[in-house]
């Protein structure tokens, strides 16, 4: 495993990219409402990233991905491709944004509840966010990656939900996806020990039903095998000398 340790100058650039990523999520929030299509959300974000922020939407053409953001609705776990899907009251959606600024990436995602959602859907959203927050609180030098995964798994399963196994967080910097892999399940005390200068995403994908997933024929969209709801929250994190910094906060 080859983990890149970022310099202070590199962290400063990642901080800028992270803040721009958060700005995109803040900008799109009022548009996420019944009647809009996921394709329209993509177009709004693309224009804002390119024209207003002078940045690059990292997903566009990444390994053939056709759009600038990911929109994962209801039982879509991740990598949903924006298109003609019209959002309606009762839907939940994850919007995943990654921008490149001055060669460095910022990556974050956020859940949105459309209109009146079910109690179970709202609880899934809340518990998934708590999983992310619980994991981030552990990030400091000396913590092991297994501690992060175990904490997420413990909180999710303790609340009656399941953790997706096939997809995980990742190192990030000049490269969109680099080492280490950050699993969202695991064993306390296991895995790579964190050290200052590491940067990675934490992005738990939590299902209301069983953990198994299925990849659709488009080779991108991942759905729950049992068609249950799925939720995800994500931040880019930097390990500091005495703790952590949420670069996309």
Domain of residue 23: give its range: 8-242
Q: pLDDT in tens for each of the 249 residues of the chain?
A: 689 999 999 999 999 999 999 999 999 999 999 999 999 999 999 999 999 999 999 999 999 999 999 999 999 999 999 999 999 999 999 999 999 999 999 999 999 999 999 999 999 999 999 999 999 999 999 999 999 999 999 999 999 999 999 999 999 999 999 999 999 999 999 999 999 999 999 999 999 999 999 999 999 999 999 999 999 999 999 999 999 999 999
Q: Is residue 46 part of a domain?
A: yes
Q: Is residue 2 part of a domain?
A: no
Crossing angle of helices 38-47 and 8-28, rounded to 10° = 130
DSSP annotation of 192:
P
CATH number at residue 185: 3.90.230.10
**Dist. CA 76–CA 230, nearest whole Å:** 6
Domain count, the chain: 1
Q: Is residue 38 part of a domain?
A: yes
Rg (CA), the chain: 17
Q: Is residue 196 part of a domain?
A: yes
Look at residue 194 in the predicted model and tell me its pLDDT: 98
Look at residue 127 in the predicted model and tell me its pLDDT: 98
Non-local CB neighbours of 249 within 8 Å, separated by 6+ positions: 18, 22, 235
Task: Produce one character per residue of 72-90: b if its CB has 16 or more CB atoms within 10 Å, e if not.
Answer: bbbbbbbbbbbeebebeee
Model pTM?
0.97
Look at residue 1 in the predicted model and tell me its pLDDT: 64
In terms of DSSP H, where are the helices of 29-88?
A: 38-47
**Dist. CA 164–CA 65, nearest whole Å:** 22
How many other CB atoms are there within 10 angstroms of residue 6's CB atom? 21
């Amino acid at each position: 495993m080859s983990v890149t340790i970022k310099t202070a100058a590199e962290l400063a650039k990642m901080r800028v990219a992270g803040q721009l990523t958060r700005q995109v999520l803040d900008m799109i929030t009022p548009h996420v409402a019944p009647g809009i299509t996921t394709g329209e959300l993509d177009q709004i974000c693309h224009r804002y990233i390119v024209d207003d922020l002078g940045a690059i939407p990292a997903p566009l053409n990444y390994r053939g991905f056709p759009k600038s953001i990911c929109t994962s609705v209801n039982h879509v776990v991740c990598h949903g491709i924006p298109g003609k899907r019209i959002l309606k009251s009762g839907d939940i959606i994850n919007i995943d944004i990654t921008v490149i600024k001055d060669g460095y990436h910022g990556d974050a995602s956020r859940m949105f509840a459309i209109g009146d959602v079910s109690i179970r859907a709202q609880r899934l959203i809340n518990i998934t966010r708590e999983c992310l927050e619980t994991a981030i609180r552990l990030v400091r030098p000396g913590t092991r990656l297994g501690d992060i995964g175990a904490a997420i798994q413990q909180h999710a399963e303790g609340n009656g939900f399941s953790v997706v196994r096939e997809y995980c967080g990742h190192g990030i910097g000049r490269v969109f996806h680099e080492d280490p892999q950050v699993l969202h399940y695991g064993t306390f005390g296991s895995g790579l020990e964190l050290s200052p200068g590491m940067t990675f995403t934490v992005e738990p994908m939590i299902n209301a039903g069983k953990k198994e997933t299925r990849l659709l024929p488009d080779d991108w969209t991942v759905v729950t095998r049992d068609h249950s709801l799925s939720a995800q929250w994500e931040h880019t994190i930097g390990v500091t000398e005495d703790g952590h910094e949420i670069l996309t906060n």
